Amino acid sequence: MSHVEHLQELNGLPAFDFPAPGARQELPAAGAVAWRLAVNPWEDDAKETFAQLWDRFLETVEPAGVRALVLGQWGEPYDNDSGVLVRLLVDARERLTTLEAVFIGDLEMEEAEISWIEQSDVTPVLEAYPRLEEFGVRGGTGLRFPATRHQRLRTLRFEAGGLPGEAVRGVAASELPALEHLELWLGVAEYGGDATVADLAPVLAGGRFPALRHLGLRNSEIQDEIAAAVAAAPVVAQLSSLDLSLGVLTDDGVTALLAGQPLTHLNWLDLHHNFVTEPVAERVRAALEPSGVEVDLSEPGDEDEWDGEVHRYTAVAE
């Protein structure tokens, strides 16, 4: 299955495609949906640029009522980074006065590989919208996230085949006192995912994000190292759910997790897409499910063997 698809909802609101020019379609109330805005640069008769689409949207929908935006393709991959979206958002801050959620880079594989999505410094969006509660980004190429402050942000999500270590360190150094949900797709070194367990240390130590209840450290080629670090991480005690899915998680990582601190207080442990043998998977279930923990060990990964070496892959890379 593909793990990179168009968002169906954002911040509890269903995604709704803002129609093409000339389309006759009744529109929902401005605050009833998460508006998806995207252009298709591959169409021979492409009707408008993203900037033109943005202007038409702000003229058609009452900006002061818009609560959520899902921003998809804005141009051809490699040619334009997401800085164009960041600038449009920042410039519209006096009009989008009730904006609560933004997702930048809602492209699926048919539009662009995740590594083709050119990102930028996205923190100006947080600075421009102090009411923002949810912020997400897809694509790690060119992504920058210097340490920032935000009082109301509850959900922060980065989806990437390679999340830059610099961005991870920026997240870990940020002041986000209301943050409840943090999700990082760390990816692989080949596509820029050079973050280390040490980069995650401020998050794992606890206290950095006092309201944190869900932690997702996903899609990593060093998933075993992450699991071993999480096993002794103080932050786990404050969590209600933990997600270590989509990565190269093997028996070693799961065994370290089981040997660490108790996880029986969790409501949910997501380990799907893994390379865990059935005997070890059964140990996890036996240790946690009697305490009411929902454990997901679905989608076992396929190993490849070349020249006597076993190769395992994250769910999302290129």
**How far apart (Å, rounded) are the C-alpha atoms in residues 318 and 301?**
17
SS3 183: strand
The token duo for 185 is: 């797709």
Q: Distance (Å, rounded) from C-alpha 271 to C-alpha 314? A: 12
Nearest to 218 by CA among 134, 128, 107, 140: 140
Query: Which two tokens mark 216?
Result: 């997702």
Which residues are CB-neighbours of 18 under 8 A, at least 6 positions away? 35, 36, 37, 53, 57, 60, 61
314 and 187 in contact (C-beta within 8 Å)? yes
pTM of the model: 0.96
Spans of the chain below 70 pLDDT:
1-2, 44-46
Q: What is the DSSP string of 303-315?
A: PEEETTEEE---S
Q: Render pLDDT for 299-310 as a digit per residue (tens, 0 to 9).
A: 998 888 787 788
The Cα–Cα gap between 268 and 29 comes to 35
CA 162 from centre of chain? 12
Quick one: tokens of 78? 């490699």
**242: three-class secondary structure by DSSP:** strand
- Return the pLDDT at 276: 97
pLDDT at res. 311? 87
Separation of alpha carbons 177 and 126, rounded Å: 14
**All domains of the chain in start order, with CATH:** 9-244 (3.80.10.10)
pLDDT of residue 176: 99
pLDDT of residue 100: 99
* pLDDT attached to residue 44: 57
In this prediction, residue 46 carries a pLDDT of 61
Q: Quick one: pLDDT at residue 247?
A: 98
What are the phi and psi torsion angles at 20 (to 5°)?
-70, 165
Q: What pLDDT was estimated at residue 191?
A: 96
